[in-house]
Amino acid sequence: MTEPLLAIRGVKAFYGNIMALKGVDLDVNDGEIVTLIGANGAGKSTLMMTVFGNPRAREGSITFQGGDITNVPTHEIAHLRIAQAPEGRRIFPRMTVLENLQMGATVSEPGHFEADMKRVCTLFPVLGERLHQRGGTLSGGEQQMLAISRALMSRPRLLLLDEPSLGIAPMLAKQIFRAIRELNERDKLTVFLVEQNAFHALKLAHRGYVIVNGLITLSGSGRELLESPEVRAAYLEGGRH
Amino acid sequence: MEYFLQQLINGITLGSIYGLIAIGYTMVYGIIGMINFAHGDVFMVGGFIALIAFLALVAIGVTAIPVALFLVLLIAMALTALYGWAIERIAYRPLRQSFRLAPLISAIGMSIILQNYIQIVQGAGAKPLPRLIEGGHTLIDSEAFAVRLSNIQIIVVLTTFVLMVAFSWLVAKTRLGRDMRACEQDLKMASLVGVNVDRTISLTFLIGAALAAVAGIMYLLYYGVVDFYIGFVAGVKAFTAAVLGGIGSLPGAMLGGILIGLIETFWSAYFTIEYKDVAAFSILIVVLIFLPTGILGRPEVEKV
C-alpha cells in the first residue's frame, strides 16, 4: 500500500467551545472518489474547512502528499493544489464569471490559463456563454458549476466538493455528478465529496465514510455502504433516490 | 453668477482633497469592515512629512519647484504608506479575530497617539510653508467680481483626477485589484483560492495611506500651513464623504468628497462660515435618512 494522498488522523476541531469534530480518521487515496455522508450538522463541512485550516485542527494531524499541513496557512494550502468548491458555493457575486475563474487560477501558472478555460467551458458549456455576466446573477445550478470550475482552474491534485447537488434541479445535479465521474476517470482527478444525497454519492464513489456527531461511524466501499442496513435506514429509505 | 462660479471652483478643490482621504476609509471598510479612525491623522502625518521634505530639499539646494514637488510627492507617499502599513500591523491585525468593536477602539487610540506624537515632536503651533505655486488665470473679469482659477487649484484637481483614474484602473484591471475585490466580497473564499489575505490587507492600507499623503501635500500647498489637529477635522469630513457617497464604493467616496467640499464652501459663501460644519453634517443626516446606504452604496445583500 502506498501512502494516502490525504490522511486525516484523530482530528478534533472546535467552533468556540463546541467540539464539531471529535477525533476523525479518514484517508483519500490518489485517484479515488471518496465520499463523506451524514446528516445536517454532523461535521461534514467542518471537516472540509479543517483541511484548509479554517477552523484549525486543535488535535490530530492532516497530511497531504506525505507533508504535514495541519498548521499551514490557508492560502498556502491552496498553493499545494488542494481546491475546494465550498458549502454555499461562495461565488464572488460582483465579479464576472471570467473574473471568478481568474480568481480560481490564482495559484496556477499563467501559461495554463487558456487551456484550463477551454477545459471548464467544455465541461460546463453554459459558463462559456456567460463569461461576462456577474456571478451573483447566475442560477443556483450555474453557480455550482462555476464553483467547481473555479476550483478546477488551479489544476488541483485533490478536489474537495461540498454538497454540489444541494438546492439545484435534479437534471443539473445529474450533469454535475456526470462531470465529476468524467474528471475522475479521464483526468485521474482525486475527489473528496461531501453529500447529503447519499444514494448518488455512494454510487459515484469508490469508498465512503459515514459521519455522525463529529465521529466516523462506518466506512467501506461505495457498494458496501449502499447495502449496509444502517446506511439504508438512516440515509436512503424514504429519502430521495 | 461670477461669485457662484468662484465658489464652485473653490468647492471642487476642497472636495478633491476630501475625496482622496475618503478613498482610504472606504477601501479599508470594504475589505475588513472597520472604520480606520486613524486615517485622518495619517493624512496629517503626510502633510508634515511633505513640509519637512520641502524644507530639507531647499536646505540641500533643490530649488527648482517642479523637481522639488515631484520628489516631495514620492517621499511623502512612501513614508506615509509606511505609517499606514505599520498601523495595521501593530494596532489592527492582532485584533482581527476578536470582537468587532476591538479594532475600532484600537483605531481611536491610534488616532490619539498620532496627534500627540506630532504635537510633541513638531509643537502645537501651525507650521507654515511659503507659497510655492504662485499665479493663476482670471476667467471672467466683470466690474463687480473677478473669477480666478489659481495654478494651485489646477494642480490639486488635476492630480486628484489622475490618481483617481490610475487607482480605478488598478482596482478594475490588475491582479492586485482583483485580489482586493475578492477579499472585499468574501474574505474566506479569497483565502481558499490562494490569495494571501494578510498581504492584500496590508497593501490596501499602504495604498490608502499613500493617497492620504497626496491629500496632505495638496492641503499644505493650498492652505500653506499644517498643524497636528488638521487630521481630526479633515478625517471626520472625509469619513462623512465616504458615508455620504456610500461606504465601500470608490466612485462614491470621490463623489461624496466633492459634495462635502461644495456644501461647505457654498454654505460659507452665502450663509455663515461658523456653521459650515453643521451644514455638511446636517446634509449627511438628511441623506442617510432617505438613502441609508449613501448615494452610490449598495444595500447589504443577504449571503445565501
HEC readout, A24-85: EEEEECCCCEEEEECCCCCCHHHHHHHHCCCCCCCEEEEEECCEECCCCCHHHHHHCCEEEE
For chain A, give the percent of residues with pLDDT over 70. Answer: 98
A contacts of B190 (beta carbons < 8 Å): 103
Instruction: Report CA-CA distances (Å) from B53 to B48, B60, B134.
Output: 8, 11, 20
Count of domains for chain B: 1
Per residue in A8-43, pLDDT (tens digit) is 999 999 988 899 999 999 999 999 999 999 988 899
A contacts of B191 (beta carbons < 8 Å): 52, 54, 74-75, 78
CB contact under 8 A, B191 and A79: no
CB contact under 8 A, A75 and B197: yes
Does the structure show a pLDDT above 60 at B241?
yes
- CB-CB contact of A191 with A159 (8 Å): yes
A contacts of B172 (beta carbons < 8 Å): none
- The reply to whether B224 falls in a domain is yes
Chain A contact for B97, CB < 8 A?
Answer: no
Can you tell me the distance from the alpha carbon of B84 to that of B114, in angstroms, rounded to the nearest whole number? 11
Mean pLDDT of A104-117: 93
A contacts of B181 (beta carbons < 8 Å): 92, 94-95, 99
- Tell which of A15, A45, A75 to mutate to test the B interface (max B CBs under 10 Å): A75
- CB-CB contact of B118 with B76 (8 Å): no
Radius of gyration of chain B (CA): 19
- Tell which of B192, B197, B199 to mutate to test the A interface (max A CBs under 10 Å): B192
- Tell which of A50, A54, A89, A92 to mutate to test the B interface (max B CBs under 10 Å): A92
CB contact under 8 A, A78 and B194: yes
- The reply to whether B190 falls in a domain is yes
The nearest alpha carbon in chain A to B197 belongs to: A75
In the structure, what pLDDT confidence band is assigned to residue B303 with cuts at 50, 70 and 90?
Answer: very low
3 state DSSP class of B298: coil
The complex's ipTM works out to 0.93
- The reply to whether B287 falls in a domain is no
- The reply to whether B6 falls in a domain is no
pLDDT number for residue A1: 56
Within 23-52 of B, beta carbons closer than 8 Å to A belong to: none
Cβ-Cβ contacts under 8 Å for B246 (sequence gap 6 or more): B252, B256, B293, B294, B295, B296, B297, B298
Closest alpha carbon to A51 in A88, A16, A26: A26
3 state DSSP class of A230: helix
- The reply to whether B295 falls in a domain is no
Instruction: Give the Cβ contact number of residue B199 at 10 Å.
Output: 12
CB contact under 8 A, A52 and B190: no
Using CB atoms, pick whichever of B185, B188, B197 lies closest to residue A95.
B185
**How close is the nearest chain A Cα to the Cα of B84, in Å?**
24
Can you tell me the distance from the alpha carbon of B292 to that of B295, in angstroms, rounded to the nearest whole number? 9
pLDDT number for residue B299: 66
Cβ-Cβ contacts under 8 Å for B110 (sequence gap 6 or more): B37, B38, B41, B87, B91
Chain B contact for A45, CB < 8 A?
Answer: no
- The reply to whether B12 falls in a domain is no
- The reply to whether B276 falls in a domain is no
CB contact under 8 A, B193 and A88: no
What is the count of residue pairs from A and B with beta carbons less than 8 Å apart?
Answer: 61
Chain A contact for B186, CB < 8 A?
Answer: yes
- CB-CB contact of A119 with A101 (8 Å): no
Range of the domain at B60: 17-122+132-256
* Sign of the dihedral defined by the CA atoms of residues B188, B190, B192, B196, in that order: negative
Per residue in B261-280, pLDDT (tens digit) is 999 999 998 888 888 888 88
Q: Is the peptide bond before A55 cis (omega within 30 degrees of 0)?
A: yes
- The reply to whether B39 falls in a domain is yes
Does the structure show a pLDDT above 50 at B304?
no
Can you tell me the distance from the alpha carbon of A193 to that of A216, in angstroms, rounded to the nearest whole number? 15
B contacts of A88 (beta carbons < 8 Å): 303-304
The nearest alpha carbon in chain B to A94 belongs to: B185
CB contact under 8 A, B196 and A103: no
Does the structure show a pLDDT above 60 at A241?
no
Angle B142-B145-B148 (CA atoms, 0-180°, nearest 5)? 95
Chain B contact for A154, CB < 8 A?
Answer: yes
Beta strand spans in chain A (E): 6-15, 18-28, 33-37, 59-64, 67-68, 82-85, 158-162, 190-195, 207-212, 215-221
pLDDT number for residue B144: 75
In the structure, what pLDDT confidence band is assigned to residue A84 with cuts at 50, 70 and 90?
Answer: very high
Closest alpha carbon to B152 in B128, B131, B166: B131
